[in-house]
Amino acid sequence: MGLNRTAKGIVLVPTLLLGGAFLAAGSWLDGPAASNRGLAISLGAILMGAGLLAQLLPEQPPEPEQEGPPRR
């Protein structure tokens, strides 16, 4: 089974949303949670990068449809 656009979209949307949320949390941290800023930014960058890299995977060409057995 090959990759298709729907599968790529299913991977892209959650990774971009979660990555953006982690990046936003990392940039707005205050108080005692500020010690986790590097972790939040790292996770956000990794998630966004993974989602975007999934879009670059090559798609396989469609398989040719086979007709039934030859008739005599």
State the average pLDDT over residues 14-35.
86
State the average pLDDT over residues 30-46.
87
Report the percent of the chain where pLDDT is more than 90.
29
C-alpha radius of gyration, the chain, whole number: 21
Residue 42 pLDDT more than 90?
yes
Q: How confident is the model at residue 21 (pLDDT cuts 50, 70, 90)?
A: very high
Q: What share of the chain is helix, strand, coil (3-state, %, to 5)?
A: 70, 0, 30
